[in-house]
């Protein structure tokens, strides 16, 4: 790594980067999918069957996230954003902790929990009400609003996906932080980067299906490990 210049960095983050801020992961210990069934809360069918239940869950999560602050890992990535000319942060997280830490070039592949979308008009807009005054919320046109997030079986925003794929084309360093690397198509992004010659570093508290592809696997909490890694990378730049 020491001999490489690092002009172009792409980062992929997942729920693990927000753990130390108090946001639960999906699949880890105490993860959301250990307590709740994804099929009942995070699919279009679930919303169609019971929008009140789905919205109660999102209302609870919005309240939880509203009380959380970015941690040292989010702040480190925001510093990388300021420092590097060619930098893209791709996140699967729907929280806004990267933006609140100061990151500017953020691609939110799975949407944003602070946006809602009219199911009839498909218009998305910001909504920061905590708690929501009405569940399920409705649009001024009378139709239901839904969270502007990507559920299982739904396509990701093609523009965001294109941005992510283009970012890895010429990237020299691909950094993957706090994701179980099992949800597609996000999990294929670092593999693409590696195929195109990027140096791949994974930061996670445990090994994942991506680990065998990585040039370095750093095992430890992101808020501890990322500042140390960034200090090392800056010396190599």
CB of 227 to ligand BJW, least distance (A): 12
Please, which residues have CB within 8 angstroms of residue 142's CB and are 6 or more apart in sequence? none
The Cα–Cα gap between 33 and 31 comes to 6
CB of 181 to ligand BJW, least distance (A): 6
Q: What are phi and psi of 217, to 5 degrees?
A: -115, 120
CB of 7 to ligand BJW, least distance (A): 26
67 versus 153: smaller Cβ distance to ligand BJW: 153
Identify the helix (H) or strand (E) that includes residue 91. Answer: strand 86-91
The Cα–Cα gap between 13 and 106 comes to 10
Q: Which of 74, 98, 110, 148 is catalytic?
A: 110
151 versus 230: smaller Cβ distance to ligand BJW: 151
Q: What are phi and psi of 100, to 5 degrees?
A: -65, -25
CB of 24 to ligand BJW, least distance (A): 8
Which residue's CB atom is positioned nearest to ligand BJW? 16
Region of 197 on the Ramachandran plot (φ > 0 left; ψ -120 to 50 alpha; else beta): left
51 versus 221: smaller Cβ distance to ligand BJW: 221
Kindly state the tokens that stand for 185: 């198509």
Tell me, yes or no, if 48 is annotated catalytic.
no
CB of 223 to ligand BJW, least distance (A): 7
- For the chain, counts of helices (H) and of strands (E): 9, 9
Kindly state the tokens that stand for 164: 């992510």
Binding residues for ligand BJW (CB under 6 A): 14-16, 19-20, 25-28, 31, 42, 92, 94, 110, 149-155, 178-180, 182-185, 203-206, 208, 221-222
15 versus 89: smaller Cβ distance to ligand BJW: 15
36 versus 125: smaller Cβ distance to ligand BJW: 36
The Cα–Cα gap between 70 and 223 comes to 10
Catalytic residues: 110
């Amino acid at each position: 790594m020491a001999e490489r210049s690092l002009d172009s960095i792409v980062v992929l983050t997942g729920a693990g980067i927000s753990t130390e801020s108090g946001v639960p992961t999906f699949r880890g210990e105490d993860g959301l999918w250990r307590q709740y069934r994804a099929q009942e809360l995070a699919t279009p069918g679930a919303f169609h069957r019971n929008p009140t239940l789905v919205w109660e869950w999102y209302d609870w999560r919005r309240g939880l996230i509203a009380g959380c602050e970015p941690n040292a890992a989010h702040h480190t990535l925001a510093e990388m954003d300021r420092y590097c000319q060619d930098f893209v942060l791709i996140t699967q997280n729907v929280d806004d902790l990267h933006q609140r830490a100061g990151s500017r070039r953020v691609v939110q592949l799975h949407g944003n929990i602070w946006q809602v979308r009219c199911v009839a008009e498909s218009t998305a807009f910001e909504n920061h009400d905590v708690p929501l005054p009405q569940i399920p919320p409705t649009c001024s046109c009378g139709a239901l609003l839904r969270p502007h997030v990507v559920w299982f079986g739904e396509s990701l925003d093609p523009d965001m996906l294109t941005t992510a794929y283009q970012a890895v084309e010429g990237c020299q360093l691909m950094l993957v932080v706090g994701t179980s690397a099992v949800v597609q198509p996000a999990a294929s992004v670092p593999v693409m980067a590696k195929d195109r010659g990027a140096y791949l570093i994974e930061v996670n508290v445990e090994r994942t299906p991506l680990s065998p592809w990585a040039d370095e696997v750093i095992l430890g909490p992101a808020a501890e490990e990322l500042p140390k890694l960034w200090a090392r990378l800056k010396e190599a730049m």
